[in-house]
Amino acid sequence: MTRFVTSAQQVFGTINDGLFLVCTAKIQQEVSRIARDEPPLDGLPQDHEASCLEGQHEAYRAKAVEGLRTIARQTRNFRDDCFEMGRLAGGLRVTSVMGRMECARLSAVNSGLEALLGDLDTFQEQIAAALKQINHINQNLQRDTDALLFAEADMCA
């Protein structure tokens, strides 16, 4: 469970960092374009400033691409962690079935065990539903990240 939570936190942090880098690179690209199109001011070295802006844009674009690749990698790892969590949750179903078999065999000793097994079933169903929703969101993140990487590669080609 700790690994699952840590993985989720890493994906969240990486997405925030990647989003910042992508937006910063886009702003730098726009500022650089505007600076190139402006008429030169008296005595100011416009070419130097424009090349500095271009350099910053390229540096942040490279960082943004690396951030997107990290997001893609971490979402794949998170998908694997979700699968593992689902596998472990499936073990709860086996425990519940075995518990019900024992309850049936020991009906005279049934002191609330049936209610406890019902709670276990409910818990397992909630985990399965939450993991399904998490997996759906993760797939969307993977798709969107792949699309951004493809668009970035297309712009550089």
pLDDT of 99 strictly over 60 = yes
Write out the two tokens for 54: 């271009």
pLDDT of 136 strictly over 70 = yes
pLDDT of 154 strictly over 70 = no
Give the long-range contacts of residues 127-133, CB within 8 A, separation 24 or more. 127/85, 127/86, 127/89, 127/92, 128/86, 128/89, 131/82, 131/85, 131/86, 131/89
pLDDT of 107 strictly over 80 = no
125 versus 112: the higher-pLDDT residue is 125
Percent of the chain exceeding pLDDT 70 equals 90
Exposure letters 109-145 (e unless 16+ CB within 10 A, then b): eeeeeeeebeebbeebeebbeebeebeeebeebbeeb
Give yes or no for a contact between 65 and 149, defined as CB atoms under 8 angstroms apart.
Answer: yes
Residue 40, SS3?
coil
Which alpha helices (H) appear in the chain, and where do they start and end? 2-37, 46-105, 113-156
What are the boundaries of each domain within the chain? 2-156
Region at 41 (left for phi over 0; alpha for psi -120 to 50; beta for the rest) = beta
pLDDT of 55 strictly over 70 = yes
Q: What does the pLDDT average to over 94-107?
A: 80
Give yes or no for a contact between 75 and 7, defined as CB atoms under 8 angstroms apart.
Answer: no
Span 12-32, pLDDT tens digits: 888 888 888 888 888 888 887
Q: Residue 108: what pLDDT? A: 61
Query: What is the distance between the alpha carbons of residues 64 and 17, in angstroms, rounded to a whole number?
Result: 9
Give yes or no for a contact between 68 and 145, defined as CB atoms under 8 angstroms apart.
Answer: yes
71 versus 39: the higher-pLDDT residue is 71
Average pLDDT, the chain: 81
pLDDT of 104 strictly over 80 = no
Q: Residue 133: what pLDDT? A: 92
pLDDT of 45 strictly over 70 = no
pLDDT of 4 strictly over 80 = no
Give yes or no for a contact between 67 and 18, defined as CB atoms under 8 angstroms apart.
Answer: yes
